[in-house]
Amino acid sequence: MKNNRLFKAIMIGGVLAGAMAFTSVQAAAADLKIGVLVADVSGEEAQGFRAYYENYIADNYDVEFVYTDALEDAAGEKAAIEKFVSQGCQAIISLSSSDRATQLDTCEEYGVYYAIASGVLDDELFEAYKGYEYFAGQVGPSNATEFEAGVKMGEFFKEQGVTSVAMYGAFIPNPMHVFRAAGVIAGLGDTYGGTNDMGGMIGQIFADQKVDPAKVEGDVELCAYLQGYGDTTTDEINAVVAKEPEAFLSVGMATTFFTQILNEAGIPFADIDSFTEANGAAIKEGQLVYLAGKYSSSIGPVFALIKNAVDGNVIRDEEGNAPSFSQGYLVATDGASFDEYYVADNGDTPIYDKETLDTIIGEDVTYDDVKALVEAN
Amino acid sequence: MSIRRKVIGTLAIPVIVGVILEAICLAHGQNVITNMKSFNNFVVYTAIVMITTMALSINLNSGRFDFSLGSMAALSAVIGAKISYALLGGGSGSAYLMLAITIASGALLGLASGCVYVILRIPPIITSLGVTLIYEGVLYTITGGKYVMTEVQNVSMSGFVGTWIHAAVLILLIVVFVIFLFDHTRFGYNYNALRSGQKVAVNTGIREVPNAVGCYVVCGALMGIVGFLNAARNTNINGGQLNFGSIAIMFTAFLPMFIGSYIGRFSNDKLGYLLAAVCMSLLNSTFAVFSNSITASVQSIINAVLLVVFLIYLNNEDLLTRLFVTRGKQAGA
């Protein structure tokens, strides 16, 4: 009996030791460990980005990605960075923008490289932080690009002859959404608080913390407006549907939250999101008539900046500061134009595939190399 | 109480609320119900509020404060959505299958919650907090903290809440079922006896434990229906409701519960909950009319103020009655 117990104990101990050894081998497998800060875990764009990193980049490079849950505030972002550091992450990629200044300060404090993959710092903030040692750079649509994306959406519907629209402000006062919303109003030919100047409009929207329909004036009426997502959102979107607008213009996330409702209501809608399968279905079979989007592998260059930095080649611009590259949006207005981008950037054949990324990963890569590639795509 | 007084007492609040809200809307050139879509929303929202109120009141009237209602609704909805999608892929009949599975899983979750209460024998307010955290954790584990969308975004689901008929049938069936169960069965007699005087009821031979567990099962099943209706109406289920994020659903039912109990004095408290839900739905439809100017936070404040005002009235009802009677007599003299 005693021998039997001893045998069992040895067996259990052996299995545990084996499991621990296996785990340590697994943990040691990745040469580079990157923590990714995420605010949105459900959105089409966020899931496309994640799939690219986890299913393509992680398969083709010696890297492990660790993700946060949905971050809601600056404190959560700071705590997540500290947790990543304790888990041995050498770098942080940010897809969360509650407080990027604190993110940068925290990464600088702990000595981990940091890059922004969604949106960019505003000019003032970038000036303040571009010299940080561990700031590896930012790649994404600039604020002017965000505004322009909104303008084009507004102009599209203005040309269609709409006279009454509803609008979803997503997560205003998120700067990205503020710039897009201001652009939409300008594109519709309307003014906000008496101006259609970008600076004047965004200043007022930041101050209002929302788009106030009463301040929108012009030929196209803003008959309903909502923003955010919470307990009352369904009531608010139902109120929008009841007002029967000719179009529903969103500056982000509408395809995630409202596709079904808008399809059922027969209200044509537009969004700024990404080229994913679900959005393809919405534009081919539903009421999505305008999509300005990024493709999922557009975050490839950010990975390259981080990998170079960790490997010792910290890319810097001509003045020795962190690089900032602007990306534009692609626009689809029907199934064919959607497929043009979606098919080109899909699964095992992303636009930023390994062969392409390898041209900007390495000890000899320069700022100009990365700039040329980003601008070419 | 005369039939005339019963009818007036029962219908007074919903009629007054309806007239006031319609007058406010008319003053701005609108109506509370603007078209068929808003009527559909009105009936569906009435069903959600009424069922939540009934589920809340069943245990609360017996002194059992149950925080886990929201987590039961969300978790049972996710279970129903996942299973029905796995079986039918969002095709024809998905909504009915999900409703059936959601009711069954809600009842099971209610059973588990009830068993925790009767086995641990610690105050229900504490056990329900623990159960809430567990259910929210399971929900988060199943969904990864994401919104469940694909499983509930299909024609069958949207068709279910795209018309007022399904919600109206559910309202009718549930009112009949709850009145029958709690007013015309042995289970209901025992429930009412325990509610009125627990010690006396137990001493007369009524078994408290099975009755309490039965109440939790009924609450769970009702919250399953709420979870289903919310999923169909919102076209998603929030899978990231950690740290008591699911509790909010319960608070939407407090005001209608107090109003319903008040109306119940003149007729039946279950009918009162239905009429109170109609009042809340009228208010919700009015908020929709003024959605550009009344934000979500303002709506919350208005709801909270109404709850406080009504509670102040209930707590000072005798005082007010005496005040009016005295003044009436003085005026008469």
> Of A70, A228, A242, which is closest to B288 when you measure between CB atoms?
A242
Sort out which chain B residues have CB atoms less than 8 A from A235's CB and list them: 41, 45, 284, 287-288, 291
What interface predicted TM-score (ipTM) does this complex get?
0.75
With tokens 């015309």, the residue in question is: B184
Contact A210, A168 (CB under 8 A): no
Residue in A337, A334, A295, A292 with CA at minimum distance from that of residue A187: A292
pLDDT at A324: 94
Q: Which residue has the higher pLDDT, A316 or A328?
A: A316
Which residues lie closer than 8 Å to B73 by C-beta, 6 or more apart? B52, B106, B223, B224, B226, B227, B230, B246, B249
Subunit contact B41:A230, Cβ cutoff 8 A: no
- Does residue A287 contact residue A268 with C-beta atoms inside 8 Å? yes
User: For B223-244, what is the mean pLDDT?
Assistant: 91
Q: How far apart are CA B286 and CA A121, in angstroms?
A: 41
Is A222 within 8 Å of A248 (Cβ atoms)? no
Please report the domains of chain A, with CATH numbers, ordered by start residue. Answer: 26-141+297-328+359-376 (3.40.50.2300), 144-294 (3.40.50.2300)
Confidence (pTM): 0.80
- What pLDDT is attached to residue A82? 96
- B26-82 pLDDT tens trace: 998 888 998 888 899 999 999 999 999 999 999 999 889 899 999 999 999 999 999
Whether the CB-CB separation of B72 and B135 falls below 8 Å is answered with: yes
Q: Are B245 and B153 in contact (CB under 8 A)?
A: no
Chain A residues in contact with B248 by the CB 8 A cut-off are 231
Beta bridge partners of A222: A165
Considering only alpha carbons, which residue of chain B is nearest residue A210? B295
pLDDT of residue A328: 87
pLDDT value at residue A18 = 47
Of A41, A235, A239, the CB nearest to B145: A41
How distant, in Å, are the alpha carbons of A189, A206, B188, B251 from that of B288? 27, 25, 39, 20
Report in angstroms the alpha-carbon separations of B86 from A256, B7, B81, B143, B228: 21, 49, 8, 15, 16
pLDDT tens digits, one per residue of B69-127: 999 999 999 999 999 999 999 899 999 999 999 999 999 999 999 999 999 988 888 99
pLDDT at residue number A12: 46
- The number of angstroms, rounded, from the C-alpha of A240 to the middle of its chain's C-alpha atoms is 26
Q: Report the pLDDT value the prediction gives residue A4, as an integer from 0 to 100.
A: 53
> For chain A, where are the alpha helices, taking DSSP H only?
2-29, 44-51, 58-60, 74-86, 100-110, 123-129, 143-160, 175-187, 198-208, 233-242, 254-257, 259-265, 277-285, 300-310, 335-342, 354-357, 367-376
pLDDT recorded at residue A25: 42
Task: State the Cα–Cα distance between residues A23 and A9, nearest whole angstrom.
Answer: 21
> How many CB atoms are closer than 10 A to CB A49?
26
Q: What is the pLDDT of residues A142-198, one digit of tens each?
A: 889 999 999 999 999 999 999 999 999 998 988 889 999 999 999 999 999 999 999
Report the distance separating Cα A357 and Cα B55, nearest Å.
57
* The two structure tokens encoding residue A69: 């849950």
A11 interfacial to chain B (CB closer than 8 Å): no
Select the more confidently predicted residue: A58 or B3: A58
CA atoms of A361 and A152, how far apart (whole Å): 34
Q: Which of residues 302-361 of A touch B (CB under 8 A)?
A: none
At A277, is the pLDDT very low, low, confident or very high (cuts 50, 70, 90)?
Answer: confident
Using DSSP, state whether A220 is helix, strand or coil. coil
The burial of A214, by beta-carbon neighbours within 10 Å (0-12 exposed, 13-18 middle, 19 or more buried), is given as: exposed
Question: Is residue B117 within 8 Å of B212, Cβ to Cβ?
Answer: yes
When scoring A38, A54, A236 by the number of chain B Cβ atoms within 10 A, the one with the most, hence best to mutate, is A236
The H-or-E segment that residue B126 falls in is helix B124-143
Residue extents of the structural domains in chain B: 1-31+254-333, 37-252
Measure in Å the smallest separation between the Cα of B176 and chain A Cα atoms: 28
Please compute the mean of the pLDDT values over residues A302-330 and round it to a whole number.
Answer: 94
The position carrying tokens 């990157």 is: A34
